[in-house]
Amino acid sequence: MNDWYCVNDKSRKIMLKYAKIGRIVLIIQFIGAYGSLIPMISRYPSIVVEANGYNNDTILLRSIPLGPRCWIPMTLSWYLYVGYYFLLCIDLLILSTAFVGSDIFVFTIAMHICGQFKILYNSIENINYHKNRKQQCLIIENFVIRHNELIEILEQFEEACNVIIFFEVFANIFVICITGFILLQSFNLSKGQMEFSLIARMFVLFTQLFLYSYIGENLTNRAKNLQSVIYNSNWHDLSPKIIKDMTFIISRSQYEFHLTAGKTRNMNMSNFKDIVKSIFSYLSILRLMFEK
């Protein structure tokens, strides 16, 4: 793609609008991701005393951000324990950043393509500003070439991302169900320190599902808007030759693009609603299964 920052002001405003959407989503995702880490890494290296219900005595355990506390033996030196604790914290920060960054990278590419479609459609809407027939023919020719390029980019984007999206959606649904079940159990057990971390985790996972559905919906709409854009232009003021070319473009533009999850399901807002309904249905079943 050409560097959109070097084009005219109107096109730059369109692309900056989509870039702003990407930045807002990035900030929201990082707030949710790091918010889920705060309760995990704010415990500080310490020794926890827990009661043993089997023989009525107490057990000394060392707290860690992630994993069972029994993994850290009490015989381990304090300095090694503190070093291990902070290495786990750094590891969690890196994993969270990579987890969010990969999704935002895909989202930003999709928003860039949407902006390119918007610029392309603006070029055909402004065809009446050029009264010269040769200029109008050149605009139509460039429009068709650029539209074919964007369609090829869409196909390559879908081919590169559909398997990733499939495993991402499957993993997110599984983790949301497990996290939601733990959240319901924590409410019943009145362990208030867990709720914030679990809710933040579910928020990040739901946001990722929403982002994939959002970009799928937008890319589909942008790809199929060609006919309406040409029809809504002032084609009636153009020459019969140009009108004939535009009619031919409309008749050949029956292409429908869908961003899919592993070629099995289209990612759009309708399917996102179905996924959310299914998740809450699974949570209800899990809650009933484990109720006493």
Q: Please tell me the predicted confidence (pLDDT) of residue 269.
A: 92
β-partners of residue 62 are 47
Q: Please tell me the predicted confidence (pLDDT) of residue 190.
A: 54
User: Half-sphere exposure of residue 130, counting CA atoms within 13 Å on the CB side?
Assistant: 15
State if pTM tops 0.85: no
Tokens for 61, please give them: 């355990």
Alpha carbon distances (Å) from 271 to 104, 178, 225: 20, 21, 21
Q: What distance in Å separates the CA atoms of residue 241 and residue 235, rounded to the nearest whole number?
A: 11
Amino acid identity of residue 43, one-letter, is R
Cα torsion at 102, 269, 23, 3 (round to 10°)? 80
Place of tokens 């610029």: 119
Calculate ∠ Cα 144-214-257, nearest 5°.
35
User: Half-sphere exposure of residue 182, counting CA atoms within 13 Å on the CB side?
Assistant: 16
DSSP assignment of 252-266 equals H-------BSTTSSB
Q: What distance in Å separates the CA atoms of residue 103 and residue 105, rounded to the nearest whole number?
A: 5
81 Cβ contact list (under 8 Å, min separation 6): 45, 62, 72
Q: Please tell me the predicted confidence (pLDDT) of residue 283.
A: 83
Residues of the chain with pLDDT under 70: 1-8, 49-57, 68, 126, 128-131, 188-194, 235, 252-253, 291-292
Q: Please tell me the predicted confidence (pLDDT) of residue 184.
A: 80
Q: What backbone torsions phi and psi does residue 256 show, to the nearest 5 degrees?
A: -120, 125
β-partners of residue 61 are 48
Q: What distance in Å separates the CA atoms of residue 127 and residue 48, rounded to the nearest whole number?
A: 73
Q: Please tell me the predicted confidence (pLDDT) of residue 181.
A: 84
Place of tokens 């009933």: 288
Is 103:213 a contact under the CB 8 Å cutoff? Answer: no
